Structure 1
Amino acid sequence: MRGLPGISLGCDYNFEQWPPEVWAEDVVLMREAGIDLVAVNIFGWSSIEPRPGEYDFAALDRVIDLLHRNGIRVNLGTGTSSPPPWLTTRHPEVLPVVADGTTRAPGGRQAWCPSSPVFREHALALVEQVARRYGGHPAVVLWHVSNELGCHNALCYDEASAEAFRRWLERRYRDIEALNEAWGTAFWSQRYDDWSEIGPPRLALSARNPAQLVDFQRFSSDELLDHYRAEAAVLRRHTSAPVTTNFMVTAHIRNLDYWSWAPEMDVVANDHYLDHRLGDPTAELSFAADLTRGLAGGAPWMLMEQSAGAVNWQPHNLAKLPGQMLRNSLTHVARGADSLCFFQWRASARGAEKFHSALVPHAGTDTRAWREVLDLSATLAALAEVADTTVQADVALLFSWESWWSADTEARPSQDVRYLEQVHAAYGAVRELGVTADVVAPGADLSRYRMVVVPCLHLVTDEEAAGIDAYVAGGGHAVVTFYSGIVDGTDRVRLGGYPGAFRDLLGVVAEEFHPLLPGDRVRLCGGGTATLWTELLRTTTAKTIDAYADGPLPGVPAITRNTYGDGTAWYVATALDQPGLRELMDAALREAGVRPIGPRNDGSVEVVRRTGDGRAYVFVINHGTHHIEYAVTGRELVTGAAVNGLLRVPAGAVRVVREEPNP
């Protein structure tokens, strides 16, 4: 982005909520805080088009020019994220319909159906006006299509969606009998004779066709991506500035397959908020950052939104403790972000987000929150030279939205087995061992990694499975966890025994799943414990590393290791407790020759290295309550101090060292 050297600091500015006399005050404060990128017009539709075809850009002109005069760059939204009341009043057919067939009313946000041609027509007309007016404005360094596409309206079940779904299916399968085969419609007399007989998978009296559910998820992701492309095409006729939208790589959003979206972005950007409904929100933040870096192909990326303090949409909206906002921010930087932005600049006095934190809180600038903003700004200025470097990792973890959709479908062996929880468990074990992992798509090039982790990859295509096979056969190391390889790309069970696609790779065959009831635990002969899942497993070429000591399958293998070609593949056939999973990962990492960069710990200490142009920077993030020491030599950038072999990091602090060789 032009004119943004170093690591930029930005925010959403909803100036429409404030009178003009506040705007000048805000810009003064933005300059004090080192804000150099401001997103505007994110929810501006009803302000700039108050009536159909009638445009009023006076306020937006004034704000953009005010920012420009003060040296602040603009991330300009297309304004299409939520339709104005006049559109939904005149055209109620644009409103979304949920799975039970009922229509959702306006009054919140994203009250539109992604397949609505009426909404598309009006949205693109607005984008044309905005792009024509500001496409050459020197302040605009980034264009922001809509906002958090699919956050609320990803799945729509109205007739427009049904028609679009049928067209999508015809393109995918070409022949109705090919669809019948892929969906297994011989089951429950579901065979289709004509495309017109197919609808979206609305709620039914029983479990719905799982292959149809997965295809509807694919369609819905593609439909919103097509909307992004349509807006982006309008913008690119009028501007050379980069175009993007904000992803939602986070634990509670699963409806968009961002592996297919990422190549369409000029800049990969993500929104992330700590989720206190999770057992370890900080670990999930690190995972989301690593996954966003994977979407960016390893290149630097942008954090489009985070919170300065509490959010407003969780059951319990916890304020951030002293220093936590800086630690969260620098965790994103450590893991590849070169731009940090916040929602929002000034805390709203009205509306559904009035209790969402902001850089300028309700209490104003004589606050701890504001002083922490200034501290973050100064820290980012000290870290400017880190920009454009990349994160180093010897381990890859495979992640798939399609597998998430398939594994968490309605009728499955255990409702307690949830895809993302198993991904987080595997990631957490690697992280607690002081190892950085790239999160990559199935089918990615794995050749540069010493070890690959494959957690709960339930749905995997033949090509993706062959890539993992080839990687291990060529000398790689893999750890595969249970419920992997079970179905193919059409959600069809792979016959011949589980784990399906990975039987030969792992040297095992499972005859039957034996999930455990909630609260049940099994002991392993090696002393560990496990929950959720067991399976009747026998080895073919693998060696048994550990077996069940009790439970439904005493004596049956629980952990195996197989030599496959020139490589090694481990299989974990149960949900090990976290210490047990960490021990297994430790053994696999050591065998693969992976050297941890950080200390083995409970997750309270993170160490990540970024390198580039002959430079190397080590981030040491101490989330704990006691100081730590880390062996490194160089110049510490936050404090400016020299480090001669041993770095002391106080409790709750972050230190970043430009490494230098030991004398």
Structure 2
Amino acid sequence: MTKSIHMDRLTLGVCYYPEHWPEELWEEDFRRMREMNISVIRMAEFAWAIFEPEEGKYDFSFFHRVMDLAHNYGIKVILGTPTATPPAWLTHKYPEVLNANVEGVLYRHGMRRHYNYSSPKYRALSERIVRKMVEAYKDHPAVIGWQIDNELNCETNVFYSEADHEAFREWLKNRYQTLDNLNKAWGTVFWSQTYTDWEQVHLSRPTISNTPNPHLALDEKRFFSANTVSFAKLQADIIREMAPNHWITTNGTFGHLDSHELTDEILDFISYDSYPQFSTIFPGTDEKPLLDRAWSMKLSNVRSMSPNFCVMEQQSGPGGWVNRMGMGTPRPGQIRLWSYQSVLHGTDLLVYFRWRTATMGTEIYWHGINDYHNQPNRRVREVAQVGEEFAKIGGVIAGTTYRAEVAIMQDYDNEWDGEFDNWHGPLQWQSTNAWYKQLQYGHIPADLITLRTTTTLEDLAKYKVIVYPHPAIMTDETAALLTQYVELGGRLLFGARTGYKDLNGQCYMRPFPGPVADLCGITVEDFTLITGTVPPAELEWKDNKLPMGMKAMGFNEVLQINNPDVEVIAWYTSEYYAGKPALTRRPVGSGSVWYYGAAYSEPVVDTLIKELGLESTVSDWLEAPAEVELGIRASSSGAQYVFLLNYSDQSALVKVKKPVKELLTDSTVANEIQLQPYGVMILETEEK
């Protein structure tokens, strides 16, 4: 099930912090916002100390004045519940609400997100402030929705307070019922770790070599997620009860949180905070990295929860705290480019962070649209241009959805298990990045989807190709679903380390790849982790489709053919397993399943893209260089809107082989067109 925001038109907003500024600035701010076609503000998510300056004493008048003035200017308001930043009186009086590191040392007041979700006192105080806040503002005509907390599990996504240890035990009791079941699931017979009393069970604590039981480590992350969802639900239930006409969201998709479950069970839609420059701080060592364009993969993940969503924080300037995360100033055109990157991938409500750069605090270098001096600048002009364009095209684009026939699949169990397991975790990032990057450069739109227990055959069948690179944890039920997908005509691709673990993270006593061995028609005869002095083997593709000397990265599995239908596509040409199969294909029903005994690299992906016959759906009438992202939003009536986003600082030559309408300029284009550095075009056409 997916949940979307419902907007009549593309809408522009901005994060606003009136508590940081003299009241005399507010009216001028709102007047200027409207001139820029900004019609929504988000605020109050860090204002607990204003709402409740002392325990039990409340004052909601400040933001009433702000909202009254905003309403006079026709500006709508998203209110954030203030639980991300408990005030000093609270943490001083009730230190049990503080989070702790794995050694048990408390995180003290002075930052944000320094609380834990498990503390009964913090839950009670959070419930009370949210109830009081909703009661105060639920009838204000400017309010349209609520953001729960702010960036759940940002800053830290692990929790080791005493309250967390206690809550973990209760969660385990509900999951396993008995200690015998827990001991079996965690394999505690190994190293004499068997528990005989629930009080002996804890979250991870310091151990020799910092190596907790791996099955505990997996359940720990499941608990962190469930606890976060529970904390969000506490707040959402109050808003649903008291303000049923307001929508509910929260912002971000951070670690150790099943954001799909959070969205399905609690929210009306998910929101996201989009900062593409994060991808440029550590660009990586691979050839031709995606850089800021890599943020499209994160937006694709958000789209798997809400096909149409809100970006609650869109980068609008250089970012950074006083002591970390410094990012350079966006070049002219990049803020607009990144805005349309969000729109392409499903954003219908785009909220910039922030209106004006703060002059105090940790984020004095996290710049907003306006500088400290509040005078006109090129960022203001660039956002105003986006506002004008939204006013022009917003009614056409809103409600349309991204179209893709290829999907890269992931799941939370393998993500969380892979954080701790070096024998499969690193392979996932390598393969996902290689596939997404080469599909991007090939102008082949792709979705990033998450396999869940609720995933149906219908969810998968809309894709012609699904890449599920390294699902170490695999159940027979999942294998049966994937078999149905292939039989109906789907093409499914696995990678090394598939299917050797159960849901507890324990290894099956069955030949790899376990539950999908029969589907693939192969088993793993031998294997090696590529590490240290162990080199990757070289590959040879049938018909010599790979360059000489190409290597199989990350892990090498030697495949044994067990079904006469299996065709060997590539084999190893070096190491002691030279001549053995490395990549196989088996036809099943109307589809096929592929198994590659390594992590996917860019050359291997490029060869597979050709082998699978994948190409851009508009290649018959449109050509663009690799530097340009191509994606499509389409309506249910058959209209489609082809976005062209130039991430290069050089002009890009685009060839349009038939006359088509360009929405942003309201002109007809054809033949050869120069797309400006960081330029954007949206071409309107009909689906084939």
* Category of TM-score, reference length = shorter chain: over 0.9
Give the counterpart letter for 1:133 in structure 2: A
- Select which of 265, 290, 309 maps to 1:301: 309
Give the counterpart letter for 1:302 in structure 2: C
Which blocks of at least 5 consecutive residues in structure 2 are unaligned?
285-289, 542-547
Measure the CA separation in 2 of the matches of 1:216 and 1:589: 42
Matched, 1:69 2:46: no
Measure the CA separation in 1 of the matches of 2:255 and 2:576: 34
Shift in Å, 1:266: 0.7
State the match for 1:34 in structure 2.
37
State the match for 1:392 in structure 2.
403
- Select which of 536, 549, 559 maps to 2:573: 549
Give the alignment's TM-score, normalised by structure 2.
0.90
Matched, 1:371 2:381: yes
State the match for 2:554 in structure 1.
532
Q: How has the CA–CA distance of structure 1 residues 254 and 586 changed in structure 2, closer, same or farther, with 3 Å as cutoff? A: farther
Shift in Å, 1:369: 1.4
Matched, 1:404 2:408: no
State the match for 2:653 in structure 1.
628
State the match for 1:652 in structure 2.
678
Shift in Å, 1:522: 3.7
Matches within 5 A, 1:16-55: 16-55=19-58
Contact 1:145 1:232 in 2 (8 A): yes
Shift in Å, 1:241: 3.3
Contact 2:536 2:555 in 1 (8 A): no
Matches within 5 A, 1:457-496: 457-496=471-510
Deviations 1:474-529 (A, max 9, x none): 22111112223231211121232322232222222114431223695542124333
Give the counterpart letter for 2:225 in structure 1: S
Measure the CA separation in 2 of the matches of 1:485 and 1:395: 22
Matched, 1:266 2:275: no
Contact 2:660 2:670 in 1 (8 A): yes
Shift in Å, 1:463: 2.1
Give the counterpart letter for 2:230 in structure 1: D
Matched, 1:420 2:466: no
Measure the CA separation in 2 of the matches of 1:461 and 1:351: 49
State the match for 2:340 in structure 1.
330
State the match for 2:544 in structure 1.
none
Give the counterpart letter for 2:428 in structure 1: Y
Deviations 1:155-209 (A, max 9, x none): 2112211111111111111222222221111111112223222111123114211
State the match for 1:59 in structure 2.
62
Q: How has the CA–CA distance of structure 1 residues 143 and 362 changed in structure 2, closer, same or farther, with 3 Å as cutoff? A: same
Give the counterpart letter for 1:452 in structure 2: I
Determine helix, strand or coil for the equivalent of 1:488: coil
Q: How has the CA–CA distance of structure 1 residues 392 and 601 changed in structure 2, closer, same or farther, with 3 Å as cutoff? A: same
Shift in Å, 1:3: 11
- Select which of 319, 325, 346 maps to 2:356: 346
Measure the CA separation in 1 of the matches of 2:206 and 2:430: 26
Measure the CA separation in 2 of the matches of 1:432 and 1:545: 24
Contact 2:5 2:269 in 1 (8 A): no
Which blocks of at least 5 consecutive residues in structure 1 are unaligned?
none
Determine helix, strand or coil for the equivalent of 2:555: coil
Measure the CA separation in 2 of the matches of 1:596 and 1:282: 24
Contact 1:431 1:603 in 2 (8 A): no
Give the counterpart letter for 2:653 in structure 1: I
- Select which of 500, 505, 513 maps to 1:499: 513
Contact 1:451 1:589 in 2 (8 A): no
Q: How has the CA–CA distance of structure 1 residues 72 and 32 changed in structure 2, closer, same or farther, with 3 Å as cutoff? A: same
Give the counterpart letter for 1:419 in structure 2: Q
Q: Which moved more, 1:597-606 or 1:193-202?
A: 597-606
Percent of aligned pairs with the same residue? 29
Shift in Å, 1:472: 0.8
- Select which of 305, 319, 335 maps to 1:311: 319
Measure the CA separation in 1 of the matches of 2:428 and 2:179: 31
Give the counterpart letter for 2:490 in structure 1: G
Measure the CA separation in 1 of the matches of 2:575 and 2:525: 17
Measure the CA separation in 1 of the matches of 2:249 and 2:6: 20
Measure the CA separation in 2 of the matches of 1:325 and 1:622: 12
Give the counterpart letter for 1:166 in structure 2: R
Aligned residues: 653
Deviations 1:303-334 (A, max 9, x none): 11121122215544122122111111111111
Q: Which moved more, 1:619-628 or 1:550-559?
A: 550-559
Contact 1:605 1:623 in 2 (8 A): yes
Shift in Å, 1:283: 3.7
State the match for 1:177 in structure 2.
180
Q: Which moved more, 1:578-587 or 1:255-264?
A: 578-587
Shift in Å, 1:646: 6.5
Measure the CA separation in 2 of the matches of 1:609 and 1:5: 16
Shift in Å, 1:573: 1.6
State the match for 1:222 in structure 2.
226
- Select which of 584, 593, 605 maps to 1:560: 584
Give the counterpart letter for 2:680 in structure 1: V
Q: How has the CA–CA distance of structure 1 residues 559 and 595 changed in structure 2, closer, same or farther, with 3 Å as cutoff? A: farther
Matches within 5 A, 1:2-21: 5-21=8-24
State the match for 2:287 in structure 1.
none
Deviations 1:235-276 (A, max 9, x none): 122212344343423xxx422111211212112211121222
Shift in Å, 1:614: 3.8
Contact 1:305 1:341 in 2 (8 A): yes
Measure the CA separation in 2 of the matches of 1:497 and 1:599: 46
Shift in Å, 1:363: 5.0
State the match for 1:580 in structure 2.
604
Determine helix, strand or coil for the equivalent of 1:530: coil
Give the counterpart letter for 2:309 in structure 1: W
Determine helix, strand or coil for the equivalent of 1:339: strand
Contact 1:75 1:140 in 2 (8 A): yes
Measure the CA separation in 1 of the matches of 2:19 and 2:495: 50
Measure the CA separation in 1 of the matches of 2:610 and 2:345: 22
Deviations 1:23-68 (A, max 9, x none): 1221122112211110110100011111101112221111111111
Contact 1:397 1:452 in 2 (8 A): yes
Contact 2:653 2:672 in 1 (8 A): no
Shift in Å, 1:405: 0.9
Measure the CA separation in 2 of the matches of 1:661 and 1:83: 51
Measure the CA separation in 2 of the matches of 1:552 and 1:94: 57
Q: How has the CA–CA distance of structure 1 residues 328 and 594 changed in structure 2, closer, same or farther, with 3 Å as cutoff? A: closer
Measure the CA separation in 2 of the matches of 1:485 and 1:661: 39
Matched, 1:610 2:634: yes
Measure the CA separation in 2 of the matches of 1:559 and 1:233: 51
Contact 1:2 1:141 in 2 (8 A): no
Q: How has the CA–CA distance of structure 1 residues 4 and 475 changed in structure 2, closer, same or farther, with 3 Å as cutoff? A: closer
Shift in Å, 1:660: 5.1
Q: How has the CA–CA distance of structure 1 residues 587 and 47 changed in structure 2, closer, same or farther, with 3 Å as cutoff? A: same
Measure the CA separation in 2 of the matches of 1:518 and 1:311: 38
Measure the CA separation in 2 of the matches of 1:2 and 1:227: 22
Shift in Å, 1:612: 2.9
Determine helix, strand or coil for the equivalent of 1:469: helix
Matched, 1:442 2:464: no
Measure the CA separation in 2 of the matches of 1:649 and 1:147: 37
Shift in Å, 1:615: 2.5
Shift in Å, 1:565: 3.1
Matched, 1:133 2:136: yes
Give the counterpart letter for 1:208 in structure 2: P
Give the counterpart letter for 1:554 in structure 2: A
Measure the CA separation in 2 of the matches of 1:600 and 1:31: 36
Matches within 5 A, 1:134-153: 134-153=137-156
